[in-house]
Amino acid sequence: MPITQSDVEKIAELARLELTADETESFTKQLGSILSYVEKLNEVDTTGVLPMSYCRISGEDSNDALRDDVVRPGIGQQAATANAPDPEAGFFKVPKIIGG
């Protein structure tokens, strides 16, 4: 299903973008090209390929520079707020932005 200019206009409206006629035409072509590429990717046979949650080789062959998680002491409230512009009682004081 090819993307139409009305599709692009709807996407722009949802994203609160104001597009010129030239931009709408250009984005229609670009998004159409992207979608046709994705359709080609869907043709690739992935039978037997396990889903990945991250892109890293695991196992004994891995040369990744990973370290073990080590619990370390925190720096504490006093040190954390020492350079804050307006600390109050060990916390960061910020202006109220919700409500009146």
Q: Give the DSSP per-residue string, 1-55.
A: ----HHHHHHHHHHTT----HHHHHHHHHHHHHHHHHHHHHHTS--TTPPP-SS-
Radius of gyration in angstroms for the set of CA atoms belonging to the chain, rounded to a whole number? 26
Separation between Cα atoms, residue 44 and residue 2, nearest integer Å: 20
**Does domain 5-42 bear CATH number 1.10.20?**
yes
Give the model confidence (pLDDT) of 17-68 as tens digits: 999 999 999 999 999 999 999 999 889 998 988 887 776 666 655 666 677 8
Residue 98 has what pLDDT?
83
The lowest-confidence range among 8-12, 53-57, 85-89 is: 53-57
What residue segments make up the domains of the chain, in order of their start? Answer: 5-42
